[in-house]
Chain A
Amino acid sequence: MNSSWHRRHDLPWLVLFVIPAFVIVVAVQFYPLAYSAFLSVQDWVLTESQVPKGFVGLENFVKELSDEIFRRSVRNSVLITAGALVLEMFLGVCLAYLTMGSSWRMRSIRTLLILPMVIAPVAAGTLWRILLNSRAGLVNHLLSLIGIKGPEWLASPDWAIVSVILLDTWQWTPFVLLVVGAAIASIPDDLLEVAAIDGASRWKTFLYIELPLLMPLLLLTFVFRMLESLLSLDSIYSLTNGGPGYSTYTLTYYIYTLGLRSFDFGGAAASSWLFMIFATFSIGLVFWYQRKDW
């Protein structure tokens, strides 16, 4: 009995193991993806017709790209994601350093700090909707205690964007904290000790030794958070519902409402494929980075 005999006899079993998962993923992910590619070149608004009205080439794409709300949604998505990412990466890395260590106290603090992450994004949205109420909300009340007149958070177009950024930051900074914290803990101690013996300050040790080591992971975390923030729908749905007006429509929110409220299936599919090009590029970046580590 040798190992190649075993390999040959194992294979049918192994294939059998993979089949259920494979079938489900193809049926639930790849078939709808192909279907959506088909829809993107069809003229189909459900309220006008029960079946697709026919092939229209790239018309849906042209229509979307010149659509005022589509463009505004792209702009909002970029603003929100950029704002939230800068805050999350900065605060997350700082907090990861401040909560280092395995003492009982630090572990409890870490446990507490990651709570926002386990909350359903829809519920986090309603929670902040209560807090940010401009007249009777807790946030403006606390601001007034230190003499600041708080803005009309959810009623003003610009502050509504800031509100979404705050919510994203509140909920997902813990993610950066967790991932970066785990990475810091895995940096060998002797490396830092050598630096300390050489008389390097804490800041220099961070800048020249730890930061370069953490860089690949920070980039990865950045792209992860970027994609997830771009794709998030639930929190905006319950915090601002896209409003006031269209001022917090993100790309995801726009596609969602176009498809499931206006039932413009062709337009929604076309805009999601425009979105897909960008996402695939970013996913490729993550992929390339991970391969390099192997």
Chain B
Amino acid sequence: MKRGRSPKQRLLALGHGVILFLACLVVLVPLAYLVINSVKLPREFLTVPPTILPTQVTFEHYGELFEDNKTFRHFRNSLTVTLWTTGVTIITGTLAAYGLARMRLSAKILAAVTFIFLFIRFYPRVTTVIPFFLVMRELDLLDTVWAIIIGQLGITIPFVTWLMLVVFQDLPAEIEEAAVVDGASVWQRFWRVVLPIVMPSVSAAAILTAFLSWNEFLIASSVARRKASVLSIAVAGFVSDKGIQWGPMAAMSVVMIVPMIVFALFAQKYLIRGITFGAVKG
């Protein structure tokens, strides 16, 4: 950028700054307001005008949430589901992607595989929710975290396989040739040579999977409404015809959102990589 800008340029720069500032406000204000609401006194809820700065900070809504173990259980269930889903997805998805990438499939078969991945990602998932519910009922798995985990795996495994397939295909063949000459087995090549190189992509895939799993609602709400209920169901549960409990609803939303925001800020590089990659390459 050159020094000594004309008035017009300065005006443009100012406008630029103002728009970005407003955009940041549009993101931040709702989030801040949610946090404020979670520490407001009940009587300050439906006031006109709204109470923006509460006179007193209270943690009673959080206390209410955590006093009967239910929220702990939701939290624990969400964590269990996320860890299992992410772990199993990364292992099976990465292996499958490597297998597919090295099989030297014909272009036609590869195209079919691609279509299947795209299809699974975007078909109306609500179609399979009822059959899945019936299968889980048959297997006596209804209302267990396993039903949620199995259901989510059906979404996350194809997703990660597809992400990693492109990564493995882009890897130059020379990297493995030396290992082939040394007589290394497929497993050794995968484990010692390839995996360390693609680790950043694996991390990106893992982080994205964890997000999908933690935030997932459709499958969880269809197969596990009571004992195995997770945070997303608990948050949605506040919307009932009996009237809304504003305080606990805000507090529960904060409990669900905050870990992901902290996680997103730390793992930002990988998250962005996962999202843009997944979109651009399918």
Taking beta carbons and an 8 Å cutoff, which residues of A are in contact with B?
1, 3, 6-7, 10-11, 13-18, 20-22, 24-25, 27-29, 31-33, 35-36, 39, 95, 98-99, 109, 111-123, 125-131, 133, 135-138, 141, 144, 170, 175, 178-179, 182-183, 217, 220-221, 224, 227-228, 230-231, 233-234, 237-238, 241, 251-252, 255-256, 259-260, 265, 268-269, 272-273, 275-276, 279-280, 282-284, 286-287, 290-291
Q: In the complex, which residue of chain A has the Cβ closest to the Cβ of B151?
A: A28
List 5 extra interface pairs beyond A18-B99, A286-B122, A287-B115, CB under 8 A. A20-B92, A127-B30, A265-B130, A280-B123, A283-B115
Check B180 for interface membership: any CB of A closer than 8 A.
yes
Which residues between 153 and 167 of chain B lie within 8 Å of chain A, taking CB atoms? Answer: 153-154, 157-158, 161
| B57 interface hit (Cβ, 8 Å) | no
Closest to B180 in A: A6
The 4 closest A-B pairs by CB, nearest first: A28-B154, A17-B99, A21-B96, A35-B131
User: Cβ of A179 and Cβ of B276 under 8 Å apart?
Assistant: yes
Nearest residue (CB) in A for B281 is A290
**Choice from A10, A27, A98 contacting B20 with Cβ under 8 Å:** A98
Interface set, chain B 80-122, CB cutoff 8 A to A: 92-93, 95-96, 98-100, 102-104, 111, 114-115, 118-120, 122
Q: Is the CB of B127 within 8 A of A130?
A: no
User: What is the size category of the interface that chain B forms with chain A?
Assistant: 35 or more
Contact partners of B154 in chain A: CB under 8 A: 24-25, 27-29
B238 touches A (CB below 8 Å): yes
Considering the complex, give the chain A residue whose CB is closest to the CB of B104.
A7
Is B201 an interface residue, CB under 8 A from the partner? no
Closest B residue to A186 using CB positions: B280
What residues on A are CB-neighbors of B98 within 8 Å? 14, 17
Task: Report if B45 contacts A (CB, 8 A).
Answer: yes
A-contacting residues, B121-155, CB 8 Å: 122-135, 150-151, 153-154
Residue from the list A10, A144, A175 in contact with B186, Cβ < 8 A: A10
Contact assessment for B122 and A116 in the assembled complex, using a CB-CB cutoff below 8 Å: no
Interface assignment of B256: CB less than 8 Å from any CB of chain A? yes
CB of B275 closer than 8 Å to a CB of A: yes
Q: In the assembly, what is the distance between CA of A115 and CA of B265, in Å?
A: 9
The docked-state distance in angstroms from the alpha carbon of A227 to that of B10 is 41
* CB atoms of B26 and A33 under 8 A apart: no
B268 touching A111, Cβ below 8 Å? yes
- Residues of B bordering A, CB below 8 Å: 16, 19-20, 23-24, 26-31, 33-34, 37, 45-50, 52, 92-93, 95-96, 98-100, 102-104, 111, 114-115, 118-120, 122-135, 150-151, 153-154, 157-158, 161, 180, 183, 185-187, 190, 211, 214-215, 217-218, 221-222, 231-232, 235-236, 238-239, 244, 246, 249-250, 252-253, 256-257, 260-261, 263-265, 268, 271-272, 275-276, 279-282
Provided the pairs A136-B46, A265-B130 are in contact, do residues A120 and B257 lie with their beta carbons within 8 angstroms?
Answer: yes
Contact of A233 among B104, B158, B218, B280 (CB under 8 A): B218
Please state if A275 and B120 are interface contacts (CB–CB under 8 Å). Answer: no
With A120-B215, A127-B253, A130-B250 as known contacts, state yes or no: A35 contacts B134, CB within 8 Å. Answer: yes
Contact (A29, B120) CB under 8 Å given A17-B98, A98-B19, A130-B250: yes
**A231 and B50 alpha carbons, distance in the complex (Å):** 34
- What residues of chain B lie closer than 8 Å to A95, measured between beta carbons? 23
A252 touches which of B24, B96, B124, B158 (Cβ 8 Å): B124
How long is the Cα–Cα vector from A129 to B23 in the complex, in angstroms? 20
Of B150, B180, B253, most buried by chain A (CB within 10 Å of CB) is B253
Q: Are A260 and B33 in contact (CB under 8 A)?
A: no
B239 pairs with A126, CB closer than 8 A = yes
Determine if B275 and A287 form an interchain contact, defined as CB atoms under 8 angstroms apart. no
- CB < 8 Å neighbour of B239 from A11, A116, A238, A251: A238
Chain A residues near B34: list those with CB within 8 A.
127, 130
Query: CA–CA, A29 to B104, complex, Å?
Result: 26
User: A17: which B residues are within 8 A, CB to CB?
Assistant: 95-96, 98-99, 186, 190
Residues in chain A near residue B268, CB distance under 8 A: 111
Shortest CB distance B260–A (Å): 5
In Å, the complex CA distance between A127 and B134 comes to: 33
Tell me which residues across on chain A come within 8 A of B37, comparing CB atoms: 130
- Chain B residues lying within 8 Å of A276, measured Cβ to Cβ, are 123-124, 127
